[in-house]
Amino acid sequence: MTTPVERLFTLFDETATILQEELQCTYLEAVAETGENVFHGDVLQEEVSELNAKRLKKEYKEIQLDRFTNEEIRKAFQLAVLKGMKEHTQPHHQMTPDAVGLFMSYIVSKFTGKYLALTILDPAVGTANLLTTVLNHLPGKQVKSYGADVDDLLIRLAYVNANLQKQPIQLFNQDSLQPLFVELADVVICDLPVGYYPNDANASRFVLKAENGHSYAHHLFIEQSLYYTKEGGYLFFLIPNSLFSSDQSAQLHTFLKEQAVIQGLLQLPMSMFKNEQAAKSIFILQKKGANVKAPKKALLAELPRFSNKQAMQVMMRKIDEWFATEKHE
Ligand code: SAM
């Protein structure tokens, strides 16, 4: 028996393949096109031949999107995007892996347990896979969300992804290190783009600019994110483990000490990454403010393999205990 995710993926895949041929575009572009068609229940591209348009319309009609949950839609769309990304490997444009997104959602929901309404910003939203995972795991809350990304194809995928899941995210196609037209956020989530930021003139506005040469984009993203966070708001960054051992880490440390308190650092299991250099952690900050106190002990842990259920349960208990002690929950 096929699962709902498989059924929906097959639809995205088959219809994207037809559109790729018809529109002479990449598979990834065709995924965005077919996603938009699925949302509208129609074929929006005039170039498509009559025969294929008929075939596509029939498939779109049969699928009945409202019978799928948001998470089923997100996962099926994610599989199609992953297939498309394999064609062009762009290491800095990779989608946030599902397991990481799910764990991040769990942590975000723990930290925002007491919020009834909140605003979330992802300044490197990519395909919105991470952002919609987090949004899908905040049931019962009134959430306003913003996402920005410099890559126009990724932001199109984000827009289609958000529409299919009926998540009203406000998206911006821009360099997120330029001024953002968003409300201050209660929560920032960001799988940081790691590397050098080429625009030295713009980098010069930031405290964390490099003394010489290009600045680190990931440092500037942390600074920019803090700037767009409310006092007392939380920030959840997916960071490279090397963040605190680079040549500019002293600068970063001083800046963070002034602006934020460190709530936690959770190292993701090494088995998730190709090698040690690629390994990442979830870094949790709270922006300083009137009632903000640093935790007695930050939440520090090396996470076990997510497939190791027993070890994961022990870890969840440890996290719950931390919340009970530090946040009285
Ligand atoms: N969380 C995303 C997802 O689920 O698809 C993936 C984030 S990916 C690791 C980092 C993203 O940062 C990429 O989509 C890339 O286009 C974006 N990016 C890099 N530099 C940027 C900039 N200066 N302004 C805005 N976005 C940027």
Q: What is the pLDDT, as a whole number, of residue 91? A: 57
The answer, yes or no, to whether residue 126 has pLDDT greater than 70, is yes
Q: Give, for ligand 1, the residue of 28, 93, 98 to mutate: max count of ligand atoms closer than 8 Å to Cβ.
A: 93
Average pLDDT along the chain: 95
| Cα(190) to centroid(ligand 1), Å | 8
Which has the higher per-residue pLDDT, 244 or 108?
108
Prediction pTM value: 0.96
| CATH class of domain segment(s) 98-326 | alpha beta
Among protein residues, the one with the nearest Cα to ligand 1's atom 13 is 93
Mean pLDDT of 128-152: 97
Per-residue pLDDT tens over the stretch 283-302:
999 999 998 999 999 999 99
Protein residue closest via CA to atom 26 of ligand 1: 149
Nearest protein CA to atom 14 of ligand 1, as residue: 126
Q: Using 50, 70 and 90 to split pLDDT, how confident is the model at 90? A: low
**Burial 85-109, CB ≥16 within 10 A → b, else e:** beeeeeeebebbbbebbbbbbebbe
pLDDT tens, residue by residue, 12-71: 999 999 999 999 999 999 999 999 999 999 999 999 999 999 999 999 999 999 999 999
For 103, 256, 299, 323, the CA distances from 326, given in Å and listed in that order, are: 20, 21, 9, 5
Calpha distance 194→26 (Å, rounded): 26
pLDDT (0 to 100) of residue 87: 81
3-class DSSP assignment, residue 178 = coil
What pLDDT does residue 239 have?
97
- Best of 89, 102, 149, 218 to mutate for ligand 1, by most ligand atoms within 8 A of CB? 149
- Residue 169 in contact with residue 123, Cβ under 8 Å? no
185-203 mean pLDDT: 97
118 vs 116: CA distance, rounded Å: 7
| 263 CB-side CA count, 13 A | 24
pLDDT at 101: 95
- Going across the sheet that includes 260-267, the strands are 169-173, 142-149, 117-122, 185-191, 229-240, 280-287, 260-267, 299-302
Lowest mean pLDDT among 81-90, 173-182, 200-209: 81-90
Q: Which of 171, 167, 103, 158 is nearest to 139 (CA)?
A: 167
Atom of ligand 1 nearest to the CA of 93: 13
Measured from the CA of 126, which atom of ligand 1 is nearest?
A: 14
Please state the rounded mean pLDDT for residues 175-188: 98
CA of 300 to the centre of ligand 1 (A): 26
- Which residues have C-beta atoms less than 6 Å from ligand 1? 92-96, 124, 126-127, 129-130, 148-151, 154, 175-177, 191, 193, 217
Q: How far is the CA of 234 from the centre of ligand 1 (A)?
A: 20
Using the predicted structure, report yes or no on whether residue 92 has a pLDDT greater than 60.
no
Residue to substitute in 74, 125, 169, 238 for testing ligand 1 pocket (most ligand atoms within 8 angstroms of CB):
125
Which of the two residues, 94 and 174, has the higher pLDDT score?
Answer: 174
The pLDDT, as a whole number, for residue 89 is 61
User: Ligand 1 atom closest to Cα of 81?
Assistant: 5
Ligand 1 centroid from CA 47, angstroms:
31
**Ligand 1 atom closest to the CA of 96, numbered from 1:** 4
pLDDT at 94 exceeding the cut of 90: no
Average confidence (pLDDT) over 241-254: 92
- pLDDT tens for 127-139 read 999 999 999 999 9
Determine the atom of ligand 1 nearest the C-alpha atom of 101. 4
Per domain, the residue ranges of the chain are 4-87, 98-326
Confidence of residue 246 (pLDDT cuts 50, 70, 90): confident
| DSSP three-state, residue 292 | coil
CATH number listed for the domain at residues 4-87: 1.10.150.470
- CA 185 to chain CA centroid, Å, is 15
